[in-house]
Every structure is written in C-alpha cells, then in structure tokens.
Amino acid sequence: MTTAVETPKYSFKDFASDQDVRWCPGCGDYSILAAVKKTLAQFDVPPEKYAFISGIGCSSRFPYYMNTYGIHSIHGRAMSIATGLKVARPDLNVWVITGDGDGLSIGGNHTIHTLRRNVDLKILLFNNQIYGLTKGQYSPTSPFGKKTKSTPMGSLDWPVLPLAIALASEATFVARAVDTHPKHLIEVLTRAHQHKGAAFVEIYQNCNIFNDGAFSYAQDRKIRADHIVELRDGEPMVFGKEDDKGLAHVEGQVRVVTLGQGGFTKNDLLVHDEKAPMSEHFKLARLRQPDFPEPIGVIRAVERPTYNDLVNDQIAEITERKGPGKLQELIQGHATWQVAGEDLD
Amino acid sequence: MSVKTTETGEKPIQSIQRATVRFAGDSGDGMQLSGMQFTNTSAVYGNDVSTLPDFPAEIRAPAGTVYGVSGFQLHFSSEDIHTPGDQVDTLVAMNPAALKVNLRDLKPGGIIVANEDGFTTQNLKLAGFEESPLDDGSLDGYRVFQVPMTNATTHAVEELGVTGRDAHRCKNFFALGLVCWLYSRPLDPVVEFIHSKFKSNEQMREANLKVLHSGYYFGETAEMFQNNFQVKPATLPKGLYRQVRGNEALALGLLTAGHLAKKELFYGGYPITPASDILHELARHKEFGVRTVQAEDEIAGICTTIGAAFGGSLGVTASSGPGIALKGEALGLATILELPLIVVNVQRGGPSTGLPTKTEQSDLMQAMYGRNGDCPMPVLAPRSPSDCFDIAIQAVRIALKYMTPVMILSDGYIANSAEPWLVPSVDDLEEIPVHHLEETNGPDGELLPYKRDEDYSRPWVLPGTPGLMHRVGGLEKADGTGNVSYDPDNHQRMTDYRHAKVEKVVDVVPDQIVYGDPDADVLLIGWGGTYGAIREATAELIERGHPVANIHLRYLNPFPKNLPEILKKYKHVLVAELNKGQLREILRARFLVDARGLNKVQGRPFMVSEIVTAVEMLMNEEAK
C-alpha cells in the first residue's frame, strides 16, 4: 500500500488543543488521539479545515483534545450532525468519533443511513466492548454471556459485528485497526482520510478499567500474530508468528490452513481484493477468534459518488438549467389577480 | 323534499353577501381538487376566501364508508372574512356516507346537492342507513337536489371513448361545474387548470373539460334549480393577490428570510402529517440553493440541521407534536450550543399519534417547556395561512440576532387552509444582518466563543476561519471560553444568561394591539389559527351590543411587554384555545390573572357561534 504523503507543513502539535486530556491513565484512547494527530500532520490541510464531531461516551471527549473545530454532541447523533455539516460545508474535512455503544446502540440507525448515503465522513468507531462512561454495562459488541453490572448473570444479547453492519449498509470504505499498533493505525487512518466517501474504521480499544484485556489476543505482541491477519490489497492472506498460516477457500468455505501441510502453498491462499464483491468482504468481516484470525487493515475500498456531492451537484445542475431562483416570481406564483380596490395606505 | 320545476327561461340570480360550500365524498372522489379549484375561481373572481380541508387519516379507506369521507369547505364573501364558515350553505354529497358525516354542519334550510347515483343499496348499507335519506323524508328541512352525476358524467365522456374507471374519475368536475353555476362562478380558471394538469393526456383533458361544462349547463338548464346566487367581489386593499396555504407561505417565508440574511437554507426533516408539505415545497426550489435532507428519523432530521447551522447555514426543521417530542434532546443541544435554528411544529390532535389529519393547539406546553433542563426558547405562532410568511421571517430574524433556536407553532388548520394574500415585494423587506467573527475577541487576544453582546448573544464563528478553532458541546459551557465547566456558580450564571437572552427577545416583539371595545369588561384571548373565529366572534358580539375586547397573541415567548398591563384592565379574561387550557394556565401562573377558558378538542377549529355563545353565557352569569 502506498500512502501519498504530501510535503508536511504541520506537526502533530499543531493539532493539539490547550485542554488537559482527561481519560483514565492507560486508556487506549490516548494512542488513537496521537495517531490521529500524526495522520493529519501529514497533509497540507490546516487545522481550521477540520471538524471533529462526536456523540457521548469516553471516546466522544475526543474533539476537546483536537485543535480543530468540533462538537461534542448527544448520545448517538454524531453522524447526523456531521452529515448536516458536510452537506452544508463540503470544503471541510469532517471526522466522526463514536464508540460501540454510541454508534451501534443508541445511534445504530444513523450509522446505517450515513454509510448507505456515503457521506464523505471519516468515522472512527472505538470498540472496547463495554460502556465505559456509565461505568461498566455490557455493550452491543460485548460477547454473549458477558457478566457486567447490568448483567450479573451474563448478557443474553448476541453481539453485533461492526464491520458486518458497515458492509450491510453498503459502506464504501471499511477497515479495522488496533489501538496499540500505532504504525498500522496511522496507515489505516491515512487511507480513510484519502477515501472520498464514508470511511468506517473500527478500532479495537482497550478499556483498562471496565473491560481490561478484551482484545489482548490482538494487542499482545507475544500472541497477536496468530490471532490477527493483516490485509493488504493484492496480497495473500498470510498470518502467524512464522508467517506459516493462511486463509484459503476450502470447499467454498474460508478455512485456516498451514502452509506446507496438506499440500497448501502460498499460491492456494486467498488474495485480498479491496474491490471484491461484497460477499467476500462479508466473510472476512465475520471471522472471529479463536477459530479464525481477525482481519485488520482495509477490508473494502470502492468508489461511489458521495451524498454531499450529489446534493450539491443537484443544486448546481438545476440552477444551471433554470437559472438562479427569482424570489419575487416564486412568491408571486402562477395564479394571481389584481384587486383594483382602495389604496389603504 | 324535491324541488318542483319552474317554467323554462332565464333563471333569476339572487345576490348574497357570503356563502359556505362543502364538497364531500369518498377519499378517492377528488373532493379536495374540486374544493381547491372552486376556491381558486372564487379568489380570482375577487371574493375573500377561507378554506378548511378535512381528510381522513387513512390513505384510501374502503369506498362508501364513513371513515373514508373526505371534505373540503370554502367560505367566500364580498367582505373581509377570517374563517372557513361555521355552518354550510351548500353541501355536495357524493354518497350516503358523505351526507351522514357532514349533515350536522348544514344550515337549516341549506342546500344538498346529492349524487343520486352514489346512493346505491350497498353504499346506504355501508353508511348505516336503513332507508335512503333522499326518500324517507328525513331531509325535509333542507333543499335537496338529486343529480345523477355519475350517469351524466359517463354519458358526457362516452363519445370521447372514455369508459369505466376513467369516466368515473371525472365526476368531481361535474360537481364542480354544477356548483360553479350555482354560485355564478366563471369557469375560465378551472379550464386553464385542466389544460395544464392534463397537458400530456389529451383524452382526459377533453373529458374533464366536457364534464365540467356538462355540470355547469346542467345547472342552467335542468328544471330543478329555481335560481342561482352571486357573491360580489370583496373590497380588499389594492394590489396583486394570490392564494396561499399555510405550509406554502411558511416555506416561502423561510426562503425569503434566507435571501434577506444572505444565508443558504438547510432543511433536515422527516415526513409527518401535517408538516410534510414544508419539506415538499422547499425541495422543489433547489435553484434557490436550498439543501433538503429527508433524514432517517426525526432526530437525524434536527441533528443534520444543527450540523448545518454550526457550518453557517440557516437551519430549519419542521415536524408535528410526536416528531417534536423526538427532537427534544437535540433542541436542548441547540440551546446550549447557542446556534440559530428554526423549528416548526405544525400541531395536530394528540397525545401520541392522536389525530394526524386534524387540527389542535395542544403542543403549547411542549413548545414552552418540553425539554430537559431549564431550556427556554422563543415561541411564535402564526395566526393565518398568509401570516406564516411574516412569522417565518420574524423567527429567522430572532434566531440570527439572538443565536437561539426558535419554535414556530403552526397547526393543521393553518397549514392546509388557504386565503388570498397580497403578494409582498421582496425589495420592501428589511435585510437581516448577520455577523461572523473573523478574529479573536478576548482581552488578551484569545478567542471567547461565548462572549456575549448586549443582547446576551454569542458570536457565530464559522468552521474554516483560521485561528478561531474551538469546540462546543452539550456539556455546560464555561462563561466566555465555552470550555466544559462543572463549576456551580458558572452553571447558575450560564442558565441565567440563556434565560435573559430569550427574555431580551421582547425588544423585537411589537406591543400587543387590542381589538374591539377598549372599555369592555370581557377580554377574549386567542393565539395561533383560532384568530379568525375569535375575531369574527368579537365583531359579532360587539354588533349584538356586548362590549368585548380581543387580543391575539402571535408572540408566546416572550409575551409582548404591555401584556400584563392589558390583562389587568379587564374584569373577565376568557382564553379560547383548542386544548384543555394551556395558555390559560401560563397566563394564570405568570400574571396572577383569573383567566377562564373556552376549550375545545375535537380536531376541528372553533365555530364563531361557539365563541359568541360562550361569551354571552359568561355575561349572563355576570348579570345574575
């Protein structure tokens, strides 16, 4: 993957606000904040051209810590607010910061519709599989049977897969990253920034207070190689500490195979295609440990006109055809009559 | 009763001052269209007009049933009028159900024009009649004309090759033609309408024209009607007029306000009766740069609008009560963000889904207080369809000057009814000044996004402005900087500021005008769409020798400065509203006035007579 890095004019400090960061010590949000600032510093876009819009939750405090424009809004509504802003102000780079509770539970509806419209927004969904701000209730991504304050005997809700929801919503850009892999995270965020359209990025994020270690399989250097597969466009899906495992189609199903066993070689592995049919990406989005490595990186990246462009193009097109609106004519309408009555002035 | 025929020849024309006509039939019968066309031709003729469409909530209820009846009432006059009329002079009933539902509103001795072809055994049964009311003498107190409209229509279009369903669909134009004759209306505007409506369908164009004229000539030649009526043109102020419905006027007002403020209009909303027409109207006019977003729900509707307002657009959202309930949390956000926003509530009968197609005024408390926290908001209410235009502009003026969401409380009656409107000249309207901060405003060169001016208004900083980056949000803002603050004193101060700001709006609220007898004992108070009925009732009471005064509140928060002084002057204060007494409660609480209520919640506007009777009863009580 090549990332077109422009002449850096800004440093990540240019994107830091004067506010004290108040997340819990050790929170995964710190590394995401740093990665976002580093990502933005690569581009020749000044801080005033960015707006960060968030909902409610620990992650949603994010805009306060960016030296850009921003709104810390209400539960689940960040995407709608961001949609209005982007449609009204296509010149701005609008990022949405949301969490698994905010974006998939109370705001699930807006997530679906923002993605299917393909509004040109960069959507970062911090997934820590828990409600952190309200102190530890299970979230829509928590595993079945999860014991929390609100589910002392175990949650009875089946978890949703954020990437699968994004794909089912016809998202044009779907990716996953992990808070503790900053280099990879910056790569993914850079791709998201460069994507024209709704870019949905799920970020595995550790809540060391209420759900510590939920993603240790993907974070722990010692074991992660066996539990995640880094997707790269045009490359085979290899993983494992020794790069000895891979994903292949066996009898129509995605299976984990070991290279050199059962006659499998690198040539038998699935080759990642960011523009593959949706069904292929859907299969990848549903891979879960411990049976499968979980894919990280850009799963899907396709082109489709953005909603904000379509709205504004329609206005331009009609104005071109009809000419700019003549207000007096509009107010007057087509059926008028003259009253020759008294002048009551 | 059937009318005896008279000898043939020219029929006499009886001149009358005003008339109320109601077209009623199945919801698929085209009664709204007939009514609107009759309104148009009356308005073009020069009458003052006022209309009341009344349609069922079901899209197509089973034909012939009472819950599928659709009606359109029109009051037209040679004088200034304000209501669609209490009682109906002429009722067009296309079937027994339409007769059953509407008969109670017909004047004693009034005219019934019945489509006798619609009075089939099955339709009579569906409407719950054991015998046909046309034959059983139950309509003896009225003048009944039985006209075979369906058959006449079918015959008229036969030679054009139109048959079956298509032929049946033309019969509303027969009814319209007949009523046009009955009231000496010119057909030209209808003919023009048919030409443009069926531009690309020659057969239906010819068929409808034929049927329209057949209806007209039927009136003229059938030896049934002894005479017809004429309502002379009204004396209205000089100028160019058009007809306008409330939702249309609201949309035009918002567009005009955008023009006056040099702001692009952004509308985010979700379809809901009776507010959807505002979205429909704005969506048609993209050449004015209007961005309309039909969102996935009411919440997204208002939130897109908040985003657009943050970006510098003139943000508008509209809904009805249940939708406004969903928008409540976002309204709180807009209030603490201190961003300009226009929120229209076209009220309908409630609670919950209530009566979607019927009018009511029961969302006043919701508008005033229906949000969490101390969350004050200016509230304005148009009094008539054309007043929606002025209210929209005024609401925008307030929102932009004070950086606040503003609620416009319209209602289903205003939204759908029409009246003649003296077309305003855009060039005569005052500009709406808008200022965007372009450099820092703090004493030490820092940015203070919540620094207040003399109106307690904060600056509107547009994203994209270099050096003024800042973040806002729903958490309490620190005075000046807008940073998050949990400081108790700061919360008190910011809450006080937000209230003071809305109270300051009073500076642009004109003094309340008192209509009627200034020395009266009784003061009648109304707000919103009941204006016409209350005003006419006041006039009638005065005419009957009862001294009554009337004020009509267009500004509900804040109230006009001189309101307390007015309230003190009268011995009796009667608040007439289409709810259980919401304004009355506010006035009692705020001004310690012993206000009494005249309240109706039937999904229907006040009749003038109801108000007259209520005031007379109050006076009789007093006399005892």
pLDDT of residue B222: 83
| CA proximity to B246, closest of B276, B224, B217 | B276
pLDDT of residue B246: 97
pLDDT of residue A341: 64
Closest-CA residue in chain A for B472? A71
Residues in CB range of B9: below 8 A, 6 or more apart: none
Q: How many CB atoms lie within 10 A of CB A316?
A: 14
pTM for this model (two decimals): 0.92
Q: Is B153 helix (H, G, I), strand (E, B) or coil?
A: helix
| CA proximity to B101, closest of B1, B175, B31, B180 | B31
- Does the pLDDT value for residue B119 go beyond 70? yes
The C-alpha atoms of residue A339 and residue B46 are separated, in whole angstroms, by: 7
| CA proximity to B152, closest of B172, B132, B135, B133 | B172
> How far is the alpha carbon of A158 from chain B, nearest alpha carbon, in Å?
25
Q: What is the pLDDT of residues B587-619, one digit of tens each?
A: 999 999 999 999 999 999 999 999 999 999 998
Which band of pLDDT confidence, cut at 50, 70 and 90, is reported for residue A343?
low
- The token duo for A244 is 């000895």
- Does the pLDDT value for residue A173 go beyond 50? yes
Which band of pLDDT confidence, cut at 50, 70 and 90, is reported for residue B14?
confident
Which band of pLDDT confidence, cut at 50, 70 and 90, is reported for residue B31?
very high
Please give the interface size between A and B, counted as residue pairs whose CB atoms are below 8 Å apart. Answer: 219
**Cβ within 8 Å, pair A46-B466:** yes
CB B304 within 8 A of CB A87: yes
AA letter at B443:
P
How far, in Å, are B171, B214, B225, B415 from residue B155 at the CA level?
Answer: 11, 10, 21, 38
Sequential DSSP letters for B109-141: EEEEEEEGGG--HHHHHHTT-SS-TTTSSTTTT
Token pair 């595995």 in the structure block, residue: A204
CB A99 within 8 A of CB A57: yes
CB A159 within 8 A of CB A202: no
> How far is the alpha carbon of B532 from chain A, nearest alpha carbon, in Å?
21
- The token duo for A220 is 């722990």
The C-alpha atoms of residue A126 and residue A163 are separated, in whole angstroms, by: 12
How far, in Å, are A330, B319, B531 from residue B407 at the CA level?
Answer: 25, 11, 19
Q: What is the pLDDT of residues A268-308, one digit of tens each?
A: 999 999 999 999 999 999 999 999 999 999 999 999 999 99
pLDDT of residue A2: 52
User: E strands along chain A, which residues?
Assistant: 50-54, 69-72, 93-99, 121-127, 130-131, 137-138, 173-178, 199-204, 228-230, 238-239, 245-250, 253-258, 294-301, 336-339
> How far is the alpha carbon of A342 from chain B, nearest alpha carbon, in Å?
5
- The token duo for A270 is 């699935």
Token pair 């992990």 in the structure block, residue: A178
User: E strands along A19-147, which residues?
Assistant: 50-54, 69-72, 93-99, 121-127, 130-131, 137-138
**Cβ within 8 Å, pair B469-A341:** no
pLDDT of residue A6: 52
- Select from B471, B475, B484, B486 the residue whose CB has the most chain A CBs within 10 Å, as the one to mutate to test that interface: B471
- The token duo for B87 is 């009682």
How far, in Å, are A298, B147, B174 from residue B96 at the CA level?
Answer: 67, 13, 18
CB B269 within 8 A of CB B295: yes
Sequential DSSP letters for B440-500: --STTS---TB---TTSPPPBPPTT-TT---EEESSPBPTBT--B---HHHHHHHHHHHHH
How far, in Å, are A21, B357, B364, B395, B580 from residue B360 at the CA level?
Answer: 50, 10, 10, 21, 10
| CA proximity to B91, closest of B142, B24, B138 | B24
Between B219 and B57, name the one with better pLDDT.
B219
The C-alpha atoms of residue B325 and residue B492 are separated, in whole angstroms, by: 26
CB B249 within 8 A of CB B279: no
The C-alpha atoms of residue B39 and residue B25 are separated, in whole angstroms, by: 17
pLDDT of residue A339: 84
The C-alpha atoms of residue B423 and residue A114 are separated, in whole angstroms, by: 41
The mean pLDDT value for B553-558 works out to: 98
The mean pLDDT value for A169-179 works out to: 98
Q: Which of B138-142, B275-279, B428-432 has the lowest mean pLDDT?
A: B138-142
> Could you say which of A87, A333, A337 has the minimum Cβ distance to residue B293?
A87
Residues in CB range of B138: below 8 A, 6 or more apart: none
The mean pLDDT value for B480-504 works out to: 98
**Cβ within 8 Å, pair B307-A343:** no
**Cβ within 8 Å, pair A315-B306:** no
**Cβ within 8 Å, pair A341-B289:** no
Q: Is B38 helix (H, G, I), strand (E, B) or coil?
A: helix
The C-alpha atoms of residue B620 and residue B622 are separated, in whole angstroms, by: 5
The mean pLDDT value for B544-565 works out to: 97
Q: Which of A203-207, A316-320, B49-53 has the lowest mean pLDDT?
A: B49-53
Chain B residues whose CB is inside 8 A of the A325 CB are: 255, 285, 287-289
What pairs with residue A95 in β-bridges?
A52, A122
Q: What is the pLDDT of residues A100-140, one digit of tens each?
A: 999 999 999 999 999 999 999 999 999 999 999 999 999 99
> How far is the alpha carbon of B583 from chain A, nearest alpha carbon, in Å?
31
| CA proximity to A127, closest of A81, A91, A176 | A176
The mean pLDDT value for B402-428 works out to: 96
Chain B residues whose CB is inside 8 A of the A81 CB are: 303-304, 306-307, 310
Q: What is the pLDDT of residues A189-243, one digit of tens each?
A: 999 999 999 999 999 999 999 999 999 999 999 999 999 999 999 999 999 999 9
Closest-CA residue in chain B for A112? B296
pLDDT of residue B163: 83
- Does the pLDDT value for residue B2 go beyond 70? no
Kindly provide the b/e burial profile for residues B197-233, where b requires at least 16 CB atoms within 10 angstroms of the residue's own CB. ebeeeeebbbbbbbbbbbbbebbeeeebbeebbebeb
**Cβ within 8 Å, pair A84-B293:** yes
Q: Furthest-apart CA pair in chain A: how many Å?
A: 100
> How far is the alpha carbon of A238 from chain B, nearest alpha carbon, in Å?
41
Q: CA torsion, points A212, A218, A223, A228, in degrees to nearest 10? A: 160
Q: How many CB atoms lie within 10 A of CB B271?
A: 15
pLDDT of residue B221: 85
Which band of pLDDT confidence, cut at 50, 70 and 90, is reported for residue A4?
low
Task: Determine how β-strand A199-204 pairs with β-strand A228-230.
Answer: unpaired
Task: Determine how β-strand A93-99 pairs with β-strand A69-72.
Answer: unpaired
CA distance between the termini of chain A? 75
Token pair 């209509």 in the structure block, residue: B515
Sequential DSSP letters for A207-252: BTTTBTTTTHHHH-TTTGGGTEEE--TTSB-EESTTS-EEEEEETT
**Cβ within 8 Å, pair A339-B236:** yes
| CA proximity to A87, closest of B621, B607, B221, B308 | B308
The percent of residues above 70 in pLDDT, for chain B, comes to 98
The C-alpha atoms of residue B381 and residue B196 are separated, in whole angstroms, by: 36
Task: Determine how β-strand B239-245 pairs with β-strand B595-599.
Answer: unpaired
pLDDT of residue B1: 30
**Cβ within 8 Å, pair A343-B238:** yes
- The token duo for B168 is 């049946």
**Cβ within 8 Å, pair A332-B424:** no
Q: Is B170 helix (H, G, I), strand (E, B) or coil?
A: coil
pLDDT of residue A63: 97
pLDDT of residue B6: 39
pLDDT of residue B7: 40
The mean pLDDT value for A71-86 works out to: 98
Which band of pLDDT confidence, cut at 50, 70 and 90, is reported for residue A334?
confident
- Does the pLDDT value for residue A1 go beyond 70? no
Q: What is the pLDDT of residues B192-240, one digit of tens each?
A: 999 999 999 999 999 999 999 999 999 988 878 878 899 988 888 899 9
| CA proximity to B64, closest of B138, B20, B1, B115 | B115
The C-alpha atoms of residue B512 and residue B506 are separated, in whole angstroms, by: 11
- What is the DSSP code (8-state) at residue B44? H
AA letter at B39:
T
**Cβ within 8 Å, pair B291-A315:** yes
Chain B residues whose CB is inside 8 A of the A308 CB are: none
Residues in chain A: 345
Complex-level ipTM: 0.96
CA distance between the termini of chain B? 44
pLDDT of residue A3: 56
AA letter at B355:
L
